[in-house]
Structure 1
Amino acid sequence: MPEPGQHPGKTGIHPMALVDPRASLGRGVQIGPWCVVGPDVRLGDNVRLHASVMIDGQTVLEEGVEVYPFSTVGYPPQDLKYAGEPTRCHVGARTVVRENVTIHRGTAQGTGETRIGRDCLLMANAHVAHDCVVGDGVIIVNNVVMGGHVMIGDHARIMGSAALHQFVRIGRGAVVGGLCGVEMDVIPYGSVLGNRARLVGLNWIGLKRSGVDASEIQQMRLAFRELYPRSSKGEALLGERMEQVRQRYGHVGRVAEMLRFMEEPSRRGLTRPVLGAAFEKDVEG
């Protein structure tokens, strides 16, 4: 990526765009009409900003990022404690940001950076708040909103109009159903549904589509049944069940990943399962 103030190679900047001369532009950058690019922005090769896009702050868009009209990236966070500190925003290569998306930079009280991974798709009207970390290959569907400090693992799917509470963690490969209000962490490969999100099983469809071996899926199914039995009556405490699962299935990579996630420090706790017919059906896969 070139140094600030350098605009190497052929760039396509519309005459009605406002690009600060101190901004750093890679080769093949395309900037449409009525876009505004601030002085501390760095755009990688082949970044494309459609009309009416605004990029500000210490913001990096890696190569091939595409941002659609009326989106803003790197603007100040909606945090009353923010006092203009020089915090950052980073969007990974080939990520697509659709119309009306807002991605705010970090805060001094947080990590100081909001970070979106590579090959993500953020659909229209989504909001990524300050200090959030979104992994690679994540899809965030229309109208999803999240509070500050949310962490989303690689290849997770957040369906339309879901709302993620601040400090919530969404594990790798998990799926959050549409209209969910997620107040607690979602385990890797977990599937949650409901107005107040409840765990209904694992993301079996996502696991199959990603090519996970059938034998590993079967072991994950058995481990999940032990972690979250259909009835909690007379069952051991969660910590005891986790130890039993570790002894029996700890050699399975994705099961070990789930257990590590469950043991990590959390500001929100773990999403609880819903019991009954819907849960049993999903557990069966």
Structure 2
Amino acid sequence: MQTETFIHPSAVVEAGAQVGAGTYIGPFSYIGSDVVIGNGVKLISHVTIIGATTIGDGCTIHPQAVLGGAPQNNAHKGGRTTLTVGKNCTIREFVTMNVGTDNARGATIVGDNCNILAYCHIAHDCVLGNNVTFTNDVALAGHCEIGDNVIIGGLSAVHQFVRVGRNAFLAGGSMITGDVIPYGIAVGNRAKLRGLNVVGLRRSGMPKAGILNLRRAYLTIFDRSRPLGENLEIARAEFGNSEEAMRIIDFLSHRGKRHFVVPPLKGAVDDDADDLD
């Protein structure tokens, strides 16, 4: 582990930038004057960090990543906005992340322990939780909210203002135009729900009985014979003791006017849970 800060002679670190202890800034990197880099960060080479950007301790950033660029939003008038990346994140080649806009949240936030693979884009005013994984070429439009432990498959795109609940899985090549519930699996161009992320629930340590109970809650919530609002009240009464079920119920109950909810594919329950019955 590197104990001393190292800045390659070919790198440019503008006056005013703050660089933490044990950080390595590799060849041909550029660090702007308003940047704060934590301890033990590694910029392999050819990394550009600009704007009011803060990088947390222990991050590794690969060549050609550009972090802190201006938002791609004509409503932004040039005010100071920020990008914050949490601790121990891996940011691979050609990733781009923009600061927020001055007429909205004003901040783009990436949580701890995130793994953002090559060519991904995180737009202005997005918020990512902890332990998020984006595989190659994932693109977030502005104002998206991504919960903890979400995995998004390669070549997927997420529409602006969309929320993705914690522990959801979005399959590769998907176009996500609406909110995805916690623990859900969404698949397809104008994606639909394919049930619950049972593999992820197992990995999180949820017992079989808990998964089956959450599956029953899912079926109640999306019962096509009744309106969603009625289903939510029924589910709240029946599954109120389940923390996971209540996360889904609350997520759907507190959606704003902008939020269309990704619905289940007709006839789909759980395409990876057949062995639970």
Q: For 2:273 and 2:88, locate their aligned partners in 1 and report how far apart those are by CA, in whole Å.
A: 35
Structure 2 equivalent of residue 255 of structure 1: 245
Which ranges in structure 2 are unaligned for 5 or more consecutive residues? none
Residue 41 in structure 1 maps to residue 35 in structure 2: yes
The answer (yes or no) to whether the contact 1:136–1:155 under 8 Å persists in 2 is yes
Q: For 2:162 and 2:270, locate their aligned partners in 1 and report how far apart those are by CA, in whole Å.
A: 26
Gap change, CA 1:40 and 1:280, over 3 Å in 2: closer
CA drift of 1:268 comes to 2.3
The answer (yes or no) to whether the contact 1:225–1:283 under 8 Å persists in 2 is no
> What secondary structure is seen at the aligned counterpart in 2 of 1:241?
helix
Structure 1 equivalent of residue 262 of structure 2: 271
Structure 1 equivalent of residue 181 of structure 2: 187
The answer (yes or no) to whether the contact 1:221–1:283 under 8 Å persists in 2 is no
Letter aligned with residue 95 of structure 2? V
CA drift of 1:10 comes to 2.6
Identity value in percent:
38
Gap change, CA 1:280 and 1:93, over 3 Å in 2: closer
Q: For 1:59 and 1:236, locate their aligned partners in 2 and report how far apart those are by CA, in whole Å.
A: 48
The answer (yes or no) to whether the contact 2:151–2:170 under 8 Å persists in 1 is yes
Which string of whole-angstrom CA distances, capped at 9 and with x for unpartnered residues, describes residues 193-251 of structure 1? 0111001101000000111122211110111111124xx3xx11111111111111111
Q: For 1:281 and 1:68, locate their aligned partners in 2 and report how far apart those are by CA, in whole Å.
A: 36
The one of 137, 142, 145 equivalent to 1:143 is 137
Structure 2 equivalent of residue 94 of structure 1: 88
Residue 238 in structure 1 maps to residue 228 in structure 2: yes
Q: What TM-score results when the alignment is normalised by the length of structure 1?
A: 0.93
The one of 74, 78, 101 equivalent to 1:80 is 74
Q: For 1:217 and 1:280, locate their aligned partners in 2 and report how far apart those are by CA, in whole Å.
A: 11
CA drift of 1:265 comes to 2.9
Aligned ranges 1:150-229 → 2 under 5 Å: 150-229=144-223
Letter aligned with residue 227 of structure 1? I
RMSD of equivalent CA atoms: 1.3
Q: For 1:201 and 1:282, locate their aligned partners in 2 and report how far apart those are by CA, in whole Å.
A: 8
* 4+ residue segments displaced more than 6 Å: none
Structure 2 equivalent of residue 65 of structure 1: 59
Q: Which moved more, 1:218-227 or 1:198-207?
A: 218-227
Which string of whole-angstrom CA distances, capped at 9 and with x for unpartnered residues, describes residues 27-74 of structure 1? 001000110000110000001111110001111001001110000011
Gap change, CA 1:156 and 1:281, over 3 Å in 2: closer
The answer (yes or no) to whether the contact 2:78–2:102 under 8 Å persists in 1 is no
Letter aligned with residue 264 of structure 2? P
Structure 2 equivalent of residue 115 of structure 1: 109
Q: For 2:245 and 2:48, locate their aligned partners in 1 and report how far apart those are by CA, in whole Å.
A: 42
Residue 24 in structure 1 maps to residue 18 in structure 2: yes
Gap change, CA 1:201 and 1:16, over 3 Å in 2: same
> What secondary structure is seen at the aligned counterpart in 1 of 2:217?
helix
Q: For 2:214 and 2:272, locate their aligned partners in 1 and report how far apart those are by CA, in whole Å.
A: 13
> What secondary structure is seen at the aligned counterpart in 2 of 1:90?
strand
Q: What TM-score results when the alignment is normalised by the length of structure 2?
A: 0.95
> What secondary structure is seen at the aligned counterpart in 1 of 2:28?
coil
The answer (yes or no) to whether the contact 2:232–2:253 under 8 Å persists in 1 is no
Q: For 1:98 and 1:65, locate their aligned partners in 2 and report how far apart those are by CA, in whole Å.
A: 11
Which string of whole-angstrom CA distances, capped at 9 and with x for unpartnered residues, describes residues 139-189 of structure 1? 011000111000000000111011000000000000111111100000000
Q: For 2:27 and 2:46, locate their aligned partners in 1 and report how far apart those are by CA, in whole Å.
A: 6
